[in-house]
Amino acid sequence: MRITVIGAAHIEITAKSKNKIVPGDSNPAEIGLKAGGTARNIAAMLAMRKIEVDLITAIGNDPFGNLLKESCTGIGINTDAWIVKNNTSTGVYLAALENNSALHAGFNAISVTESIRTAELTKHKKIIKDADLLILDLNLSEKILALSLDQREDGPVLVDAVSVDKVQRIKDLLDRVDILKLSRLEAEKLTGMTLDTKDRVRQASYNIVGRGVKRVFITLGVAGVCAADESNAIFVPALPIAAKGVQGVKGAGDAFTAGLAVNLEKDIRSQAEAGVKFAAEHIERIVES
């Protein structure tokens, strides 16, 4: 199996204060730096399971871009199709954390993904067309999303909605999507419905399938996942996270998407269950590290 992933890759910098943050002062902190971005995270989890994966993303011609590319190459991601831009900086997300790990403030400068031009993507049409699965994240512009689907021509496409403010980018392309993964809030934005009951979640799922998506998966946090196709809508419970020291579920959504990709050929219930398990395993690996 060979998978092509198109979307965001950036550097994540965290500054965790050793004491309660004092605004306007210099606060002693532990500084962390790692590779991130929805598409990069998904590609990394696939590569770590020995799946051949090509990542198409955009970076700046700068030290952070070099670091990001080296880290991806080092874990087996094919970076031959990366788009390097001389007039744009590599994406960076900066998080200031309280001493209890709560987010004090976050800052992002990750627009480089949206700057990909049609001519730059067209150069890589073959790896888009020939992949066994194409995964797109909605950090891409609407024009590039449409072009990616045009270049795909045939074969399954999985889309990760990424965020509430970006989910509308796919609304006019839903009939070209095989699998769509959304959070509850993203599904609310896409459908205009309030998903405060199981019946409302089920209705929203059918709404999305009725607009052309073959399978939709709506993640519901501790309530699990709703999975739907044209025949049925089912609910799969979340797995308990028993590992000591778990502070949150950051990255679980990316892991769930990777789990859907790995289990592409399974029936909808088995695929949803596999995605939930994949996400839980990802969280446990974070704790162990």
Task: Establish if 149 belongs to a structural domain.
Answer: no
Number of structural domains in the chain: 2
Asked whether residue 119 falls in the same domain as residue 9, the answer is: yes
Asked whether residue 242 falls in the same domain as residue 193, the answer is: yes
Q: Could you tell me if 195 and 188 are in contact, meaning their C-beta atoms sit under 8 angstroms apart?
A: yes
Task: Write down the pLDDT at residue 239.
Answer: 82
Task: Establish if 148 belongs to a structural domain.
Answer: no
Asked whether residue 110 falls in the same domain as residue 187, the answer is: no
pLDDT band at 283 (very low <50, low <70, confident <90, very high): low
Task: Write down the pLDDT at residue 288.
Answer: 36
- Which of 134, 164, 185 terminates a domain? The answer is 134
Asked whether residue 114 falls in the same domain as residue 171, the answer is: no
Asked whether residue 221 falls in the same domain as residue 126, the answer is: no
Task: Establish if 252 belongs to a structural domain.
Answer: yes
Comparing 4-8, 92-96, 175-179, 181-185, which segment has the lowest mean pLDDT?
92-96
Task: Establish if 28 belongs to a structural domain.
Answer: yes
Task: Establish if 283 belongs to a structural domain.
Answer: yes
Handedness of CA 196, 200, 201, 204 (dihedral sign): negative
Which of 281 and 91 is assigned the larger pLDDT? 91
Q: What percent of the chain has pLDDT over 70?
A: 94
Whether residue 286 has pLDDT greater than 70: no
Q: Residue 167's domain is classified under what CATH number?
A: 3.40.1190.20
Which of 97, 31, 36 minimizes the C-alpha distance to 64?
Answer: 36
Asked whether residue 72 falls in the same domain as residue 163, the answer is: no
Task: Establish if 222 belongs to a structural domain.
Answer: yes
The CA distances from residue 45 to 27, 225, 259, in Å, are: 34, 20, 9
Asked whether residue 130 falls in the same domain as residue 171, the answer is: no
Task: Write down the pLDDT at residue 256.
Answer: 94
Asked whether residue 122 falls in the same domain as residue 232, the answer is: no
pLDDT band at 251 (very low <50, low <70, confident <90, very high): low
Task: Establish if 170 belongs to a structural domain.
Answer: yes
Structure confidence by residue, pLDDT tens digits, 29-77: 999 999 999 999 999 999 999 999 999 999 999 999 999 999 999 999 9
Task: Write down the pLDDT at residue 287.
Answer: 35
Asked whether residue 171 falls in the same domain as residue 283, the answer is: yes
Q: Could you tell me the residue range of the domain that residue 123 belongs to? A: 1-134
Task: Establish if 147 belongs to a structural domain.
Answer: no
Task: Write down the pLDDT at residue 240.
Answer: 73
Task: Write down the pLDDT at residue 106.
Answer: 87
Asked whether residue 129 falls in the same domain as residue 228, the answer is: no
- Which of 87, 104, 134 terminates a domain? The answer is 134
Asked whether residue 27 falls in the same domain as residue 89, the answer is: yes
Mean pLDDT (the chain) is 91
Task: Write down the pLDDT at residue 133.
Answer: 98
Average pLDDT over residues 206-214: 97
Which of 100 and 116 is assigned the larger pLDDT? 116
- Distance from C-alpha of 68 to C-alpha of 116, rounded to nearest angstrom: 17
Whether residue 243 has pLDDT greater than 60: no
Asked whether residue 46 falls in the same domain as residue 121, the answer is: yes
Query: For residue 132, what are the contacts with CB-CB under 8 A and spacing of at least 6?
Result: 1, 2, 3, 155, 156
- Which of 72, 100, 134 terminates a domain? The answer is 134
Task: Write down the pLDDT at residue 87.
Answer: 87
Joined together, the tokens standing for residue 148 give 């990616």
